[in-house]
Structure formats: C-alpha cells, structure tokens
C-alpha cells in the first residue's frame, strides 16, 4: 500500500480504522476509547469535500466537515454552497464552523463545534465562552491521539498502519479534502491541480450564467 494523498488511499485509511475495530464518532461527549473522530477543515473546495464525503459514505463512515463562512474560495450561500451542505447531510455527516479568529458567530446550520482556521497558540486550545466545543480543547485534543495532514505532510507518518493495529486508544484525524481530491506529489503541485480544475468549473459557471464565452 502506498501512502499517496489521494481519495483511494483515504478510503484505505477509513477501512484500516474499521479493521482496527474503531467506531466513528463526533465532537460530543468526551472521546470514548476505540473511537475515531474524522475531522475535515474545508479551506478551499466544497467539491473536494463532497467527493471525500462520498468515499466515507461508501465505506460506512461519518465525519464532521468544518466549513468557512469567510472563505475567499467558496460561498455557502451560493447554490453550490447550499447543495454541498445538503449533500453532506444526506450522506450522514455533520457540519460545523471553520472560523477565522475572533469571529465565530452562532449559525443554525452548524453543530455546536468550532475549529479555528490557522490558529495562533494563544487561543488554539482555549474553550469558547459560550459552551460550544473548540476541537483543539481537552479532552477532544491530545497530541498523542491527534494526526493531521497539514500541507500534505504527516508529522508522525501516515496513520493507516497504526489504525489497522489498533495502536491508538482513540484518534482525532484531521484531513483537508483538497489535498486528497486533487493530485500532486507536493502541496504546491496539488494546489496547482486544484486551480486547473477550478478554471474549468468557473468557465462552466460563466456559461450557466449566460456569459458569452465565444
């Protein structure tokens, strides 16, 4: 098995967790032994999020998708945004806020959970004052039971073997859908592949908007 950052290997990671006997859980209650909390911070692409969500659904897994209301790349109030939230729900996933500090308005579309985008150490692990869960506060965050694919790099190696071997008591697994839905050996290549795909999608949106592209 090669640990590529693609949706095929993401599916294998999910299956490895199941083989290790883990159950998929969400940010509610304290993390139970034997649970894996699949967390996705959606920084750039709703299309990538929905494609990852389909892979999880086929494997019988559910995750929490953290969506931005201040993204320069997507708009949750657009038809695409409304459809993406609906589709994630149909597939059995949760949605929550991927917030840009210090803005974390309550929003009825979301579960009472917040993940800060690019947080500074000063507030990264601090609980919210209104009782919503910060995904990086205790007990949902513990460095020993946390893995992240930040910038297409696992600091402690790909977690699939550890999951298969049930080596984690429980795990919060953060992945960014864009990294897996678009191909590239490095983050830079993957981002360029995403932008190429985005160009085609944008041209289609212009055509749909009756823009003359001749």
Interface residues toward Zn ion, by CB under 5 A? 3, 41, 43, 117, 158, 160
| Cβ proximity to Zn ion, 151 vs 205, nearer residue | 151
- For residues 99 and 179, give the distance between their C-alpha atoms in angstroms, rounded to a whole number: 20
66 to each of 41, 86, 139, 189, how far by Cα in Å?
A: 5, 14, 19, 24
CB of 135 to Zn ion, least distance (A): 11
CB of 208 to Zn ion, least distance (A): 28
CB of 158 to Zn ion, least distance (A): 3
CB of 214 to Zn ion, least distance (A): 39
Q: Enter the DSSP assignment of 103.
A: B
| Cβ proximity to Zn ion, 116 vs 212, nearer residue | 116
Residues 10 and 173 sit within 8 Å (Cβ to Cβ): no
| Cβ proximity to Zn ion, 186 vs 204, nearer residue | 186
113 to each of 27, 59, 73, 159, how far by Cα in Å?
A: 7, 25, 22, 24
| Cβ proximity to Zn ion, 33 vs 45, nearer residue | 45
């Amino acid at each position: 098995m090669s640990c590529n950052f693609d949706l095929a290997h993401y599916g294998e990671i999910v299956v490895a967790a199941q083989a290790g006997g883990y159950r998929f859980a969400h940010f509610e209650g304290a993390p139970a032994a034997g649970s894996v909390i699949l967390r996705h911070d959606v920084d750039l692409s709703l299309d990538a999020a929905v494609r990852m969500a389909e892979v999880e659904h086929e494997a019988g897994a559910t995750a929490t998708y953290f969506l931005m209301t201040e993204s320069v790349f997507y708009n949750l109030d657009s038809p695409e945004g409304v459809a993406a939230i609906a589709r994630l729900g149909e597939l059995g996933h949760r949605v929550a806020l991927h917030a840009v500090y210090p803005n974390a308005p309550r929003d009825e579309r979301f579960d009472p959970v917040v993940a800060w985008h690019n947080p500074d150490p000063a507030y990264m692990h601090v609980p919210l004052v209104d009782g919503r869960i910060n995904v990086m506060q205790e007990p949902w965050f513990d460095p020993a039971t946390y893995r992240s694919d930040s910038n297409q790099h696992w600091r402690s190696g790909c977690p699939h073997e550890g999951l298969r071997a049930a080596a984690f008591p429980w795990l919060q697994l953060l992945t960014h859908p864009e990294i897996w839905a678009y191909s590239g050996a490095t983050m830079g290549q993957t981002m360029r592949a995403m932008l190429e795909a985005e160009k085609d999608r944008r041209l289609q949106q212009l055509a749909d908007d009756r823009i003359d592209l001749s």
